[in-house]
Amino acid sequence: MARIYNFSAGPAVLPVEALEAARDEMLDYNGSGMSVMEMSHRGKVYAAIHEEAKQNIRDLMGLTDDYEVIFVQGGASLQFAMIPMNFLGEGKVADYVDSGNWGAQAIKQARLIGQVNIVADCNKDIPTRMPREGECKWTPGAAYAHITSNETISGAQWKTLPKTEAPLVADMSSDILSRPFDIKDFAMVYAGAQKNLGTAGMALVVIRKDFAETGSKALPTMLKYSTFIEKDSLYNTPPCFSIYMLMQTTRWLKKFGLENIYKQNVEKAAKLYAAIDASAFYRGTAVKEFRSDMNVTFRLPTEELEATFCAEAKKVGLEGLKGHRSVGGIRASIYNAFPPAGVDALVAFMADFERKFG
């Protein structure tokens, strides 16, 4: 078995321990004689998986009883629509930070539903960044305020998450549980599961109950947060296997420890940024103070060299380094499960590549 160093932005590398557990339990989960994919979502065996998945999130985030953990199909992208459908009624306005591609995607969906106010726009800025202290002009009485904690494509990350008067909602798809944060500052956080949590197609949503209760009642059942809360994410057949994988990765993360993973994430990113800064050949894409610990973006002198860089890297087992098609460049995604040895390998490769092509 040869596993590559997988720098993909998402779906992305998962903890080997979680994959091994899934492999070992594939044909016979816990003595049930069947796989998780084959059993009733109403049965006792599945119920224990569902409970542990939720409990792991509760433990890792330190959730109090006023927050609910729900699992919603449709990935983070459906959340872009569900949030305004539930909370952006007539006569209301929602604050959005346009911090990059994902922030803009959320805004696009919200505008289909209601009135949006852009409180800060740094989407087009190069080098890429997040809003600075005091830059966001929050609207008094806004229905909610929406931010993207980490812009996966540009590689910019909020280092100090904002506090807002309006209920704060965060798309944490690409940095959820990569660092400690205070859930009390948020009415809702959500994340597509395929970066730090498990498999694609599902979103983890952590939502304060009193906020969820303010949601529109005039929506189809499957589009209301209240349905997921009342039915414990079991109104219809949930994405059982995705929830199972989330349970495995969060079980791994609990063992590792959130503080420890944060420390490791910072160290991994710092090594890569140090390699970029030590050379005039490589140029970081994001403003230093907003550099992401999850998605390290940089450029080479020419696009041709960038293509050669990715091709040569692939030959030595470093894959998924090509930047997003919309911006080009190089992107090394180094989520929780990405091993530190892979970062060392990339740093060594970068020095080698510069010697040959610089």
Q: How far apart are alpha carbons 172 and 150 in whole angstroms?
A: 7
Q: How far is the CB of 268 from ligand PLP (least distance, A)?
A: 18
Neighbours of 125 (CB within 10 A): 15
From the candidates 54, 95, 158, 195, give the one annotated as an active-site residue.
195
* CB of 58 or CB of 195, closer to ligand PLP: 195
Strand partners, 117: 95
**Secondary structure (DSSP) of 172-221:** -TTTTTSS---GGG-SEEEEETTTTTS-TTEEEEEEEHHHHHTS-SSS-G
From the candidates 54, 95, 98, 102, give the one annotated as an active-site residue.
102
CB half-sphere exposure, 341, CA atoms < 13 A: 4
Clarify whether 231 is annotated catalytic.
no
* CB of 276 or CB of 294, closer to ligand PLP: 294
Q: How far is the CB of 79 from ligand PLP (least distance, A)?
A: 8
Clarify whether 232 is annotated catalytic.
no
Q: Which residues bind ligand PLP (CB under 6 A)?
A: 10, 75-77, 102, 148, 152, 171, 173-174, 192
Which parts of the chain are beta strand (E)? 5-6, 67-73, 93-98, 115-121, 145-148, 150-151, 156-157, 168-171, 188-192, 202-208, 283-284, 295-299, 318-319, 330-333
Q: How far is the CB of 174 from ligand PLP (least distance, A)?
A: 4
Q: How far is CA 126 from CA 96, 129, 285, in A?
A: 20, 8, 7
* CB of 177 or CB of 275, closer to ligand PLP: 177
* CB of 192 or CB of 342, closer to ligand PLP: 192
From the candidates 95, 98, 138, 171, give the one annotated as an active-site residue.
171
Q: How far is the CB of 124 from ligand PLP (least distance, A)?
A: 17
* CB of 87 or CB of 102, closer to ligand PLP: 102
Clarify whether 102 is annotated catalytic.
yes
DSSP 267: H
Q: How far is the CB of 52 from ligand PLP (least distance, A)?
A: 23
Q: How far apart are alpha carbons 156 and 147 in whole angstroms?
A: 12
Q: How far apart are alpha carbons 44 and 150 in whole angstroms?
A: 37
List of residues 6+ apart from 351 with CB closer than 8 A: 275
* CB of 68 or CB of 171, closer to ligand PLP: 171
> What's CA 354's distance to the chain center, in Å?
32
- The SS3 assignment for 50 reads helix
Q: How far is the CB of 11 from ligand PLP (least distance, A)?
A: 9
Question: In the bound complex, which residue of the shown chain has the CB atom lying closest to ligand PLP?
Answer: 75
Q: Mind telling me the catalytic residues?
A: 102, 171, 195
